[in-house]
């Protein structure tokens, strides 16, 4: 694609048009703006832009107006390749939607483990110096604040259009902002599951948590949940185990909770792997029916556990929304419609639980994984 001179000029123009300057933001102010180092989606999205992209993502694909002769080049930098299928599913959703949109592409993956911040910085530098190869870079930061400078470096490169995955809180200091942020709001998910749990279990519940790795993601998934149930239902967290998002961590944490805090009637897990570990630990001592367990994400494994009566509820992401929306954004950039895009895209989240019928669960699952497929991934 980069060999096509006409497109180079077009892409450069589009990239320059697509970046938002920090000086233009916020579009409107929300509570606590001065205390935050980041914008909220509502502060930076044009009215109706998010809803329009969500709708486009959910609809049948409309092919690119002017077909490309050569494939676009996409660099995909992402962490936690060793523990999560989140990135693989996003990637599948992105590429399948690109296929539907009839946009030819070639993608290069730069993977790392979750905590390898330095390696991600290296990847970002390498993609930056290879801007003559790539048209688009999709960057899933290991931690947002740590990779902030690298996001800015890529966003500044006029030969690249940069999208950020898995975060939805644009840092204020980034100038320019990348072309788009695509994520599910963990904070929104925490409020959804909090609301559901309060409604179902009432007030004054004693519970425990299998938290992930200290950081923004865990602060939202676990911290926001903890604040919400404490504030609105007077719930009491007796123990918080950091299981590092690993199945062993969930298993170990649950063993400790069962032994040391038998008064805990609910275990909140911050991801699928820990939820599965927690379920196994409960099953090992025959407690799976006694403790109310939550997961995070609504992956196929979690839904199976709900069907089996081992997991009780989970904030379920429409998993393929992020990848599919990114494909739609690429199309908008290629068609010169980037002004129509929201700076922050949020995928849909709904609570899946054990009181739903099997048909309802199946239907949710099909919608969530409409591109990457229901069941185990085949790569």
Q: Tell me which residues touch another protein (CB under 8 A).
A: 81-82, 108-112, 115-119, 121-123, 125-126, 129-130, 143-149, 173, 213-216, 218-219, 283
Computed on alpha carbons and rounded to an integer, the radius of gyration of the chain in Å comes to 21
Q: Are 163 and 329 in contact (CB under 8 A)?
A: yes
What minimum distance in Å lies between the beta carbon of 247 and another protein?
Answer: 15
What minimum distance in Å lies between the beta carbon of 37 and another protein?
Answer: 8
The torsion defined by the Cα of 332, 335, 337 and 342, in degrees rounded to 10, comes to 10
The torsion defined by the Cα of 137, 143, 145 and 147, in degrees rounded to 10, comes to -40
Nearer to another protein, 58 or 119 (CB): 119
What minimum distance in Å lies between the beta carbon of 81 and another protein?
Answer: 6
Pairing type for strands 236-242 and 206-211 reads parallel
Q: What are phi and psi of 44, to 5 degrees?
A: -120, -10
Nearer to another protein, 144 or 197 (CB): 144
Nearer to another protein, 85 or 338 (CB): 85
Nearer to another protein, 310 or 328 (CB): 310
Nearer to another protein, 50 or 301 (CB): 301
Give the burial string for 312-339 (b: 16+ CB within 10 Å, else e): bbbbbbbbbbbbbbbbbbbbbbbeeebe
The β-bridge partners of 180 are 163
What minimum distance in Å lies between the beta carbon of 311 and another protein?
Answer: 13
What minimum distance in Å lies between the beta carbon of 278 and another protein?
Answer: 14
What minimum distance in Å lies between the beta carbon of 350 and another protein?
Answer: 27
What minimum distance in Å lies between the beta carbon of 336 and another protein?
Answer: 30
Nearer to another protein, 304 or 340 (CB): 304
Could you tell me the two tokens for 359? 């048909």
DSSP class per residue in 285-344 = TT-TTTSEEE-SB--HHHHHHHHTTS--EEEEE-TTHHHHHHHHHHHHHHTT-GGGS-SE
Q: Are 240 and 208 in contact (CB under 8 A)?
A: yes
3-state SS string for 257-284: HHHHCCCCCEEEECCHHHHHHHHHHHHH
Nearer to another protein, 195 or 240 (CB): 240
Nearer to another protein, 241 or 333 (CB): 241
The β-bridge partners of 111 are 78
Q: What are phi and psi of 216, to 5 degrees?
A: -65, -40
The β-bridge partners of 106 are 73
What minimum distance in Å lies between the beta carbon of 379 and another protein?
Answer: 11
């Amino acid at each position: 694609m980069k060999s096509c001179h006409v497109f180079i000029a077009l892409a450069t123009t589009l990239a320059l048009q697509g970046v938002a300057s920090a000086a233009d933001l916020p579009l409107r102010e929300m509570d606590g703006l001065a205390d935050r180092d980041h914008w909220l989606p509502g502060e930076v999205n044009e009215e109706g832009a998010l809803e329009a992209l969500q709708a486009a993502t959910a609809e049948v694909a409309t092919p690119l107006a002017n077909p490309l002769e050569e494939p676009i080049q996409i660099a995909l930098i992402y962490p936690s390749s060793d523990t999560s299928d989140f990135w693989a599913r996003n990637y599948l959703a992105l590429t399948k939607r690109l296929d539907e949109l009839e946009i030819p592409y070639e993608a290069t993956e730069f993977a790392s483990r979750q905590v390898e911040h330095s390696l991600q910085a290296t990847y970002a530098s390498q993609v930056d110096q290879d801007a003559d190869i790539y048209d688009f870079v999709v960057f899933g930061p290991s931690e947002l604040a740590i990779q902030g400078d690298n996001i800015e470096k890529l966003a500044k490169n006029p030969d690249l259009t940069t999208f950020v995955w898995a975060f939805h809180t644009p840092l204020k200091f980034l100038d320019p902002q990348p072309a788009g942020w695509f994520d599910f709001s963990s904070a929104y998910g925490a409020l959804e599951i909090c609301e559901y749990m309060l409604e179902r279990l009432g007030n004054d519940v004693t519970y425990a948590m299998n938290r992930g790795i200290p950081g923004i993601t865990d602060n939202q998934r676990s911290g926001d949940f903890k604040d919400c149930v404490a504030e609105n239902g007077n719930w009491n967290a007796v123990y918080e185990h950091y299981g590092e998002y690993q199945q062993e961590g969930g298993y170990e944490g649950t063993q400790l909770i069962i032994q040391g805090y038998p008064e805990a009637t609910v275990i909140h897990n911050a991801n699928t792997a820990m939820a599965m570990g927690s379920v196994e630990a409960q099953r090992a001592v025959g407690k799976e029916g006694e403790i109310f367990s939550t997961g995070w994400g609504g992956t196929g494994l979690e839904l199976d556990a709900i069907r089996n009566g081992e997991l009780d509820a989970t904030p379920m992401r429409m998993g393929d929304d992020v990848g599919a929306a990114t494909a739609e954004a690429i199309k908008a950039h290629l068609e010169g419609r980037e002004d129509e895009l929201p700076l922050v895209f949020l995928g849909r989240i709904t609570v899946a639980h054990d009181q739903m019928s099997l048909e309802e669960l199946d239907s949710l699952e099909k919608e969530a994984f409409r591109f990457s497929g229901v069941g185990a991934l085949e790569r």
